[in-house]
Structure 1
Amino acid sequence: MVLTELLLRFFYSPPSSFFISAMSIINFASLANSGFMESKGKNIQYAKFFNAGSVKTSSADKKAKLSGRIGMLIFYSPALLASVASFALFPDEGLRFDLLRLALTIHFSKRVFEVLLIHKFSGGMEVEAAIIISFSYFASTATMIYAQHLTYGLPEPPIDLKYAGILLFLLGISGNFYHHYLLSKLRTEGDKRYKIPQGGLFSLVICPHYLFEIFGFIGVSFIAQTLYAFSFTLGTLFLLMGRSFATRKWYRSKFDNFPENTKSLIPYVF
C-alpha cells in the first residue's frame, strides 16, 4: 500500500485497460530477456553481429537478406509514422501529450536521418529480423501513445516530472547523435574494417550512444509519467546493458589492444 501511494505521486493511476497492462508486462519481459540473451552471445542478427561467431548453414544462406541501410529504414519508419499520425488521431489532449509525441517524433526522425546520412554500413540483416524489430518499435510507440491518451481527463500526478523529462530527453538525443557521428567518422566510404572508437565518452565506455539513449528514454518516461512508459524504459535499460556487454566482448575478441579500463555502458561501473 505504501509503495502504491508512492508510485501514484510520480505516475498516473494505471488505466483500466487489460491491453495496456498486458503490454506493460510483455514489453518489459521481452526487452529484458533480449538483453539477457544478447549478453550470452545470442545476438540479434544485424550490424556487426550478423553471423558473428557462427558457421553458415545452407538453410541460413537461403534466407532473404537486406542491406543494413534498408533494414534499418524498415526498423524505424512505421514507428515514425505512428508518432506523426497521433497528432491527427488525438488532437488537443494537453501539453504533456503533445510533448510526448513530439519527443517520439523527434527520436524516430533522428534515427531515419542517421540511417540516410550518418551511419555507414558493412553488414546486412535477414528480412525476418527486420520485420520483427520494426513491428516491435511500432507496437511500443503506438502503445505508449495510446496509454497517454487514456490519461486524458485524469488528475495530474502530484509530482510533475515533464520539464525534467524534456531536459533529459534533449541531453540523451544530442549525446546519442554526437557519438553516432563519431562512429560514422571511423571509416571512409567503402572501408569495411572495424576500429576501436575514439573521442567523446568512448574512452570510458564502448557504448556511450546507448548510455545517452537510456537518458533519452528516461526523459520520455518522465514526460509521459505512465507506468507503461516506465516499464518500456526499464526494459530498454536491461536490453542495452546486455547489448553493450556483448559489444564490449566483441571488441575484446577482435582487438588485442582494446583498453581494459573501458567499460560497457556506465563509466567506471559496468
Structure 2
Amino acid sequence: MLPPRFLFPPSLIVAAASVVSLTSMANIALLEIRGRPLQYSKFSEVGSGSHNQNAATRKKIVLPGRTGMLVAYTPAFLTGAASFALFPDEGLRFLLLKSAITIHFLKRILEVIFIHKYSGGMPVDSMIVISLSYFITTAIMIYAQNLTQGLPDPPIDLQYPGIILFLIGISGNFYHHFLLSRLRGNTMKEYKIPRGGLFEMVICPHYLFEILTFWGIALISQTLFSFCFGIGTTWYLMGRSYGTRKWYLSKFEDFPNHVKAIIPFIF
C-alpha cells in the first residue's frame, strides 16, 4: 500500500511509534473528558472522584509548579537544540523542523519563567510522565525526519503552509497565555473568567493555537509520526478544553453559555 501523496513513506519503526503515540494520546483524551486529568493544574479538581484524587496527590512528592514545568519542557528543548549538531546539513525541511521544535519548547520554557503564574504544585510522577513524553516525542520526530534523507519529497509539498500555520499557532498561543497571566492579582488563588482575544468565544484559545502549532510542525515534517502526533494532540487538547470549560462552569455562575471549549460556535 502506497503512503498518501503528502507523506514520506514510513519505516516499520516509525509506523509502530505512530500507532503507539496515537493510541496513548487518545486514551489520555478520554481520561480528560471523564474528569481524570493529569494532576498538574486546578482542573484536576473536576470529576466525581476529585476528593480522593486530591487526597492521593497530598501523599505524593510535589514540586512547585514552575519547577515541575521547567523539568517537563527542558529535555525536549535540549533534544531539539542538540539535533542541530547531530544533523548539521540535512536540507531545508529538516532545518525547518528542528527550528520549529526548538523554538516551540524554548518559548514554553520562557513562558514558565516569565509569564505563567502557578497556584499549586506538580506531583513528581506526573512531571516524569510529561517530561518523558515530550522528550520521546521530540526524539522520534527528529529521528523519523532523519530517515527521510535521500528520499524524494512527497508530490504534495506542505512545508511552506506549515511554516505559516506554525507562526500563527505559536504567536496566538503566546498572546493568549499573556492574557491569562494578567488575570491573577496579588492572590495566587484568585481566578477570573478570561477576557480579550478569542476568550470572548472559547475558553481555551491557547489550546486551539497550540493545536495549530503542532499541525504546522506536521506539515513541515510530512512524516507519518508527525501527523499522528498532530491528530493525538488535537484529541488530547479537545478533551482538556472540555474539562477546563466544565471547571469554569462549576466555579462561576455567570459563565457565559455562548463561550465554547475550543472551537468557536461548535465545541
TM-score normalized by structure 1?
A: 0.94
Report Cα offsets for 1:197-221 as digits up to 9, x if no partner: 0000001000000000111111100
Are 1:214 and 1:236, in contact at CA under 8 Å, matched by a contact in 2?
yes
1:60, distance to aligned residue in structure 2 (A): 4.2
SS in 2 for 1:154: coil
The residue aligned with 1:261 is 258
With over 3 angstroms needed to count, the CA separation of the structure-2 counterparts of 1:58 and 1:258, relative to structure 1, is closer
1:45 is paired with a residue of what secondary structure?
coil
Between the aligned partners of 1:101 and 1:199, the Cα distance in structure 2 is 33
- After superposition, residues 202-221 of structure 1 pair within 5 angstroms as 202-221=199-218
Q: CA deviation at 1:134?
A: 0.3
| Aligned partner of 1:44 among 38, 43, 49 | 38
Out of 195, 199, 220, which is 2:196 matched to?
Answer: 199
Is residue 2:8 matched to residue 1:12? yes
Given the alignment of the two structures, is residue 125 of structure 1 paired with residue 122 of structure 2, yes or no? yes
* 1:255 to 1:58, Cα distance in 2 relative to 1, 3 A: closer
The sequence identity of aligned pairs, in percent, is 57
After the TM superposition, which of the residue ranges 185-194 and 63-72 deviates more from structure 2?
Answer: 185-194
RMSD of the TM alignment (CA)?
Answer: 1.4
- Partner of residue 113 from structure 2, selected from 96, 113, 116: 116
| Equivalent-residue separation in structure 1 for 2:140 and 2:160 (angstroms) | 22
Structure 2 residue ranges without an equivalent (≥5): none
One-letter amino acid of the counterpart of residue 33, structure 1: N
The 8 Å contact of residues 57 and 123 in structure 2, kept in 1 or not, is answered as no
1:157 maps to which of 134, 154, 157:
154
Contact 2:118 2:188 (C-alpha < 8 Å) held by counterparts: no
Cα deviation, 1:182-204, whole Å, max 9, x if unaligned, reads 00000124432111000000010
* Matching of residues 220-259 of structure 1 within 5 Å: 220-259=217-256
- CA distances 1:30-57 after superposition (whole Å, capped 9, x unpaired): 1111011101101110111245532467
CA distance in 1, matches of 2:86, 2:244: 39
Q: Which residue of 2 aligns with 1:99?
A: 96
Q: Is the 8 A contact 1:50 1:124 kept in 2?
A: no
Are 1:27 and 2:21 counterparts? Answer: yes
Contact in 2 for aligned 1:75/1:137 (Cα 8 Å): yes
Give me the whole-angstrom Cα distance separating, in 2, the residues matched to 1:236 and 1:77.
19
The DSSP-based 3-state class of the residue aligned with 2:191 is: coil
Q: Gaps (5+ residues) in structure 1?
A: none
- Of 220-229 and 50-59, more deviation after overlay is shown by 50-59
SS of the residue corresponding to residue 13 of structure 1 reads: coil
Alignment of 1:179-198 (within 5 A): 179-198=176-195
Q: Deviation digits for residues 230-255 of structure 1, max 9, x if unmatched? A: 00000000000100000000100000
Alpha-carbon distance in structure 1 between the residues aligned to 2:54 and 2:141 = 39
Q: 1:141 to 1:203 in 2, by over 3 A?
A: same
Relative distance call for 1:58 and 1:177 in structure 2 (3 A) is: closer
Q: Is the 8 A contact 2:43 2:243 kept in 1?
A: no
In 2, Cα distance between equivalents of 1:143 and 1:13: 15
